[in-house]
Amino acid sequence: MQNLSGRHAVITGGSSGIGLATARALGRRGARLTLMARRHELLDAAVTELAGLGVEATGRSVDVSDHPGVDAAFDAAVAERGPVDVLVCSAGLARPGYFEELDDEVFREMMEVDYFGTLWPIRAVVPSMIERRSGSIVGVSSGAGIIGVFGYTAYGPAKFAVRGLLEALRAEMAPYGIHVGCCFPPDVDTPQLAYENRFKPDETRAISGSIKPISADRVADCIVAGIDKERFALVPDRGTRLLAVGAGLAPRLITSVTDRAAAKARARRLARTDRDSPPL
């Protein structure tokens, strides 16, 4: 177990969901925290909550897709608390929908927030970590970054890109003693999931099935354990572990199962449409 007491940890998306849960988990270990997110009011509430738990934390409002803004936020955080020892990139956005119905801007936004919003913070901390020959970087991908999922033509590619970035970065950082990890959570019970559920196609819901979303705390515990053990693939639930194994060993089996679930959901949707349509 690493000694995280007094270490400077930056968490993007730290005002809610997985980010805030990770902040709590790192704070319990004595880390000094800088939380980054867009909304001032949520950041203030998160910092107040953490202070009530005896955790030293500061909030900095920044849009992670804004490269100059990210650099400025990290410069300020380093000036205040010193070099970054741990970076957790959990800021992200999911917007499912049918490919042909999604606006072009949705595809751009997913890449800007989910991929570049992971890349820019990493770019900000890597030079110092290389110089010091230490540090830990964790990014959050998704189960949709393991296999392509119906309804996630905008979100999935961005999460595949996060995975690819971190896999390549792990190899490059290993000679410097820098840990790089990638977390692959399933559906997580967060405000982001509530937003996402508003747009999920029936087929996407059918593929998810009756699987109950896991808690953000469970994902956070997985991330912190991964930092402790310097693991790359951080998978917080059994279902996603099986998915990862299946995608590697039997990809046709996985796609046949998901295709059948989507086809059944589509048939039900079309039947409802026919039933509800007025007679000619």
Query: How far apart (Å, rounded) are the C-alpha atoms in residues 154 and 172?
Result: 28
CA-to-CA distance for 166 and 102, rounded, in angstroms?
28
* Residues marked as catalytic: 141, 155, 159
The letter for the amino acid at 266 is R
Architecture per CATH, 8-276: 3-Layer(aba) Sandwich (3.40)
CA dist 91 and 77 (Å) reads 17
The arithmetic mean of pLDDT across residues 50-67, rounded, is 96
Q: Is the pLDDT of residue 150 over 80?
A: yes
The overall average pLDDT reported for the chain is 91
Residues 154-206: tens digit of each pLDDT:
999 999 999 999 999 999 999 999 999 999 999 999 988 989 999 999 999 88
State the residue for tokens 């991330």.
Answer: 223
Q: CA 41 to CA 164: how far, in whole Å?
A: 33
More confident residue, 251 or 137: 137
Distance of alpha carbon 137 from alpha carbon 27, whole angstroms:
17
Which residue is associated with the tokens 């936004």? Answer: 109
Question: Tell me, what's the pLDDT at 1?
Answer: 73
In terms of residues, how long is the chain?
A: 280
In angstroms, how far is CA 145 from the centroid of its own chain? 10
Helices (H), 95-154: 104-110, 117-132
Q: How far apart are the first and last CA of the chain?
A: 70
- Other CB atoms within a 10 A radius of the CB of residue 46 amount to 24
Domains of the chain, residue spans: 8-276
- Residue 72: pLDDT over 80: yes
> Can you tell me the distance from the alpha carbon of 97 to that of 137, in angstroms, rounded to the nearest whole number?
31
- Residue at 75: amino acid letter: D
C-alpha–C-alpha distance, residues 95 and 200, integer Å: 8
Which pLDDT does position 246 carry in this prediction? Answer: 62
- Beta-carbon contacts of 193 under 8 Å, excluding residues fewer than 6 positions away, are 187, 213
Q: What is the pLDDT of residue 259?
A: 74
CA–CA separation, 153 vs 118, rounded Å?
19
pTM of the shown model:
0.88
Q: Are 93 and 110 in contact (CB under 8 A)?
A: yes
pLDDT tens readout for residues 238-269: 888 887 776 654 556 556 666 777 777 778 87
State the helix-helix crossing angle for 251-276 and 238-249, rounded to 10 degrees. 110
**Residue that has been written with the tokens 């693939």 in this structure:** 233
Evaluate the CA torsion angle 216, 236, 160, 200 in order and state its sign.
Answer: negative
Structure tokens at 19: 């980010």
Six-digit token string for 193: 């999931």
What confidence score (pLDDT) does residue 261 get?
A: 75
Give the type of residue at 137: I
- DSSP letter, residue 85: S
Question: Which of 87-101, 185-199, 202-216 bottoms out in mean pLDDT, i.e. has the lowest?
Answer: 202-216
Three-class SS state of 57: strand
